[in-house]
Homo-oligomer: A and B are copies of this chain.
């Protein structure tokens, strides 16, 4: 029997013990936002170090100005083995409101829920259950073969639920130690209970605020109306000009670095069952509003956008005031994909705005962050190996998806460690993370372990 098959079998046979180990971790109240649980956080870190050491990792608790990190290393089978960095977090969200929990949040159990067996407790899904799937996969491999298929570095964070203040400095200070061929991040959902998903694209973001000024005070629209520049008019005209009639952004060079999504990827998205109607219908809409001729999944996962997130000017209280405002402002954000350059977008947007400012008006810009998109190449070798591995484990083939929300760790791995990430998780959309009665499907925990065993096997000779 091949090592992978042995490892999978071992995972199946030792599920009860691995659940017990998860329960032990879940009983630790590692709430990172509340200083009262500082010792609990360290306790969680230490218990993970102990577990990893038991499997043969060189593991240690590493201090930070906040809660500690866990870093662990395990050699691969040889010099040529791939090197993976696995990331998860051991801290959990607060439990309020406590009265809504059916069972105490730090007393885990297994229950029946809607015909499935689930592990309950704070952190069961986010992220203790998820991170243990990887640890248990390593344990099984080690148990059956005495080694791991890849060289493995593990990084567990204890501040993910409180904004990760120590993460960037820690990555910078330990870049050499942490850098690997690829990062594996386990903190995301499956597409549905039968379909595993890899998030391969995270859109970037550029935020800009523009303030257009005209007269040096608010004016009476009877006395000045028709003669004085109205900054709301100027602003409206500029904002209206950002998109053409086909929904494309008109700012010069905006699409530089944007690549078309391959047809086979678009085709695979069609099979996901998220239609324009189902996606938009959930919020009372029906028609995609952006670039014409593209599906909602392509529009939200693979196309750049310009959105006005806020606008204000003049009087907008009760009743009416016949005022010509002295200034009007808008907050505009751009979602970036592919190789779009945040600073070039910002520069070209400002140029675009300036062209619309008449002689009598002025404009001020305020910068609100900028980050490039994270996009695994559609033909990424690591991506296709992981997809194949997941497809062998689950009822339905794995899908490559995009994500709207950003996951800072992925950008940090890219920019600070020069490393791409595979975002693979086994959580379900009904796991109630951050809410009372959090749960993790037993099948997620079980097949998650099996998935990582398969992925480690698939990546063993991977080179970026």
A220-251, CB under 8 A of B: which get 1 and which 0? 11111111111011011101111100000000
Q: Which chain B residues lie closer than 8 Å to A359 at the CB level? A: 286-287
B280–A228 contact, CB under 8 A?
yes
Give every chain B residue within 8 A of A237 (Cβ-Cβ).
236, 240
Q: Does chain B have a CB within 8 A of A171?
A: no
Partner of A331, one of B288, B309, B316, B328: B316
CB of A404 within 8 A of chain B?
A: yes
Check A406 for interface membership: any CB of B closer than 8 A.
yes
A321 and B311 alpha carbons, distance in the complex (Å):
12
Instruction: Flag if B225 contacts A335 (CB, 8 Å).
Output: yes
**Cβ proximity bits A237-272 to B, threshold 8 Å, 1 near / 0 not:** 101111100000000000000000000000000000
Number of interface residues of A (CB under 8 A): 80
The answer to whether A331 touches B360 (Cβ under 8 A) is no
Q: Which residue of the partner chain, among B225, B284, B287, B314, contacts A404 with CB atoms under 8 Å?
A: B225
Pair B232/A311 contact, Cβ less than 8 Å? yes
Q: Which of B239, B308, B315 interacts with A309 by CB under 8 Å?
A: B315
Q: Report whether A216 and B284 are in contact in the complex, using a CB–CB cutoff of 8 Å.
A: yes
Question: 27 A-B Cβ contacts within 8 A?
Answer: A209-B320, A217-B284, A221-B404, A224-B300, A225-B300, A225-B307, A225-B335, A226-B291, A227-B276, A227-B290, A227-B296, A228-B289, A232-B309, A233-B242, A233-B289, A236-B239, A236-B240, A287-B359, A289-B360, A307-B322, A309-B325, A310-B313, A310-B314, A310-B316, A311-B314, A315-B331, A321-B331
The 6 closest A-B CB pairs, nearest first, are: A222-B404, A216-B284, A310-B314, A240-B240, A223-B404, A312-B316
